[in-house]
Chains A and B, each alone.
Chain A
Amino acid sequence: MKVLDLKTEFQTPAGVVRAVDGINLTLYPGETLGIVGESGCGKSVTSLSIMGLLPKGQSRVSAQEIKFDGKNVLAMPESQMRQIRGNQMAMIFQEPMTSLNPVFKIGNQIAEALQFHLKMKKTEAWKKVVELLRLVGIPRPEAIAKEYPHELSGGMRQRVMIAMAMACNPSVLIADEPTTALDVTIQAQILNLMRKLQAEKGTAILLITHDLGVVAEMCKGVVVMYAGQIVEEAEVKELFNNPKHPYTKGLLASLPRLDGSQDRLESIPGQVPNPLNIPKGCRFAPRCAIKMDRCDQLKPELADLGHRHYCRCLLCQEEDS
């Protein structure tokens, strides 16, 4: 999957908010790409835009291209998009209740997707449902399939979501904070499950999270977002061992570590900019420890540092040219 120059705007009473401003992403089969960033930086809007799931009235999504398996998704009519969604491209949300319908038994909800996309017969679909629930580690799958979402624990609901997302063997899975609402021991189960399914089916995963630990354990490549833009992108080892952008460095330094005792934590002063009032030059300038005068005026480009490492900072850009 390839996304080029994605821009998403919202019409709000206070004015137009550009929540996502020129995002490029390339996702390879069998690989996991992580997107990290603080809340409000545009992670969810990015994924919803790709899936075509934002409300049409208030939002405007534009891009040079959103290519999926060589086809341009952007130009597709909604009916064709619906075929692709859930079938070749599936999504897992942070809060499973937002995408599970509370009044239907969970088995019926999964079966419906199978009948719609794979044109399965009802009995065949039910067999597959039970198999899927077993695959994601749900105990007593026959019985649980007949239960309603509210009868399950958070971890089980998230597993049902994964079962539903994996039902049609999608080639791309977008997971938006899939474990943020879960306890760590349950998170470990879910992440293991996602890894296992990926290894078996070669799924490409776009994993959105604010947890750098999850990124380190799951991803091949990482994209760091700040205020609607990508500020750094690299392979995971490179990003953790050799971060270039002052924001990425700040994030890594502000983490309390499980392994040693620190006396003080680093922190990034200030807070993310108001989306209605984005700084003119570098968006990170008001919080940057090494800000220079020209940072308030010049907009840094995403500079190519080689070996899949990109950074949006004037210092990198100047070194580059």
Chain B
Amino acid sequence: MSALLEVSQLKKYFPIRKGIFGKQVGAVKAVDGVSFNIKKGETLGIVGESGCGKSTTGRAILRLIEPTEGEILFNGTNVSRLKPEELRRFRTHMQIVFQDPFASLDPKWTIQKILEEPIRTHMKLPEAEVKDKVANLLEVVGLSSYHAQRYPHEFSGGQRQRIGVARALALNPEFIVCDEPVSALDVSIQSQVLNLMRDLQDQFSLTYMLISHDLSVVRFISTQVGVMYLGRMVELASTKELFREPLHPYTKALMSAVPVPDPDATKNQIVLSGDVPNPSSPPPGCTFHTRCSMANEICSCEAPEWKEVSPEHFLACHLY
């Protein structure tokens, strides 16, 4: 199947300014040349440590922040070139669900109003149909229509996240970026939301990009996984292949660091030394070389190339 979304060489640099004139003295390379495709109906999971650029990638694709460079093709449309008015209309195809369901819902609005707002702005529907649509959205995410007149603070975390999902679904999008959708939830609630996301994907043939720092969540829901480190993607493969045989030293370390909820498990943990470097002055060469146990001379001077080591398995490391 062909790709719904094709991203190539995406970059987002945030300027670092100093002094009263705001002279630019440097840049945080939050995303530094990331490329991937997502096929229709599939889910790309993005994992990596805090600050590695996961959210920035997600937002830049939707142009919620302006990319510095790179091309974003969605169903053949070049999203990166859309003018403001075209972009506004195009947004109906691509939506986002945020980590903190509370911060992303206006506390003064009822659920009815929260869900109506995008429908009114983007669709010309008769009043009665708007009401029906809202009732239907609530049902789809497992809430009832009597919830519609309530305010966000009257809901639990899991319910608020369902409302966030309902809002994202309001315009019948094809693609949803889910940025840490279950990170703020307890496990027993987290599993409800993850099941819901899966059901909706089947029901509406949705395509997802799932951002999470939790590898087991990503494994559950993704067909493909990309691993990011300091603004770059270091490995990208099908979920099956990546979990069976991770190749990049960082992917290996990340996987081995996850505590396994099984006291009988034996594992060889690779404990990385040191902290993630500052993204405003990343190490030269392979940015992971300061923490990599496999590093040799070339790693600290030359950046490894992004290459396809086997079909649909991409990697940036001098070892391969």
Chain B residue with the shortest CB-CB distance to A186: B275
**Do A255 and B271 touch across chains, with their CB atoms under 8 A apart?**
no
Query: CA separation between A192 and B257, bound complex, in Å?
Result: 11
Known: A188-B257, A254-B190. A216 touches B195 (CB 8 A): no
Count chain A residues whose beta carbon lies closer than 8 angstroms to a beta carbon of B.
Answer: 47
Provide the residues of chain A in CB contact with B187, threshold 8 Å: 38, 210, 212, 251, 254-255
Known: A216-B260, A251-B187. A183 touches B276 (CB 8 A): yes
Known: A184-B254, A185-B272, A271-B189. A237 touches B220 (CB 8 A): no
**Do B261 and A192 touch across chains, with their CB atoms under 8 A apart?**
no
Provide the residues of chain A in CB contact with B191, threshold 8 Å: 254-256, 265-267
Provide the residues of chain B in CB contact with A154, threshold 8 Å: 50
**Do B186 and A210 touch across chains, with their CB atoms under 8 A apart?**
yes
**Do B257 and A216 touch across chains, with their CB atoms under 8 A apart?**
no
Provide the residues of chain B in CB contact with A183, threshold 8 Å: 49-50, 213, 276
B262 CB within 8 Å of chain A: yes
A211 CB within 8 Å of chain B: yes
**Do B272 and A189 touch across chains, with their CB atoms under 8 A apart?**
yes
**Do B275 and A155 touch across chains, with their CB atoms under 8 A apart?**
yes
| Interface residue ranges of B177-221 to A (CB < 8 Å) | 186-192, 194-195, 198, 213, 215-217, 219-220
B243 CB within 8 Å of chain A: yes
A250 CB within 8 Å of chain B: yes
Count chain B residues whose beta carbon lies closer than 8 angstroms to a beta carbon of A.
Answer: 43
A225 CB within 8 Å of chain B: no
B130 CB within 8 Å of chain A: no
Chain A residue with the shortest CB-CB distance to B269: A188
| Interface residue ranges of B220-248 to A (CB < 8 Å) | 220, 239-240, 243
Contact with B along A262-280 (1 / 0, CB 8 A): 1011111101000000000
Q: A183-B49, A261-B220, A267-B189 given. 5 additional CB < 8 A pairs?
A: A155-B275, A254-B188, A256-B217, A256-B219, A256-B220
What 4 A-B pairs have minimum CB-CB distances, sorted nearest first? A213-B259, A265-B191, A268-B188, A254-B191
Binding site for A on B (CB under 8 A): 49-50, 156, 158, 186-192, 194-195, 198, 213, 215-217, 219-220, 239-240, 243, 253-265, 269, 271-276
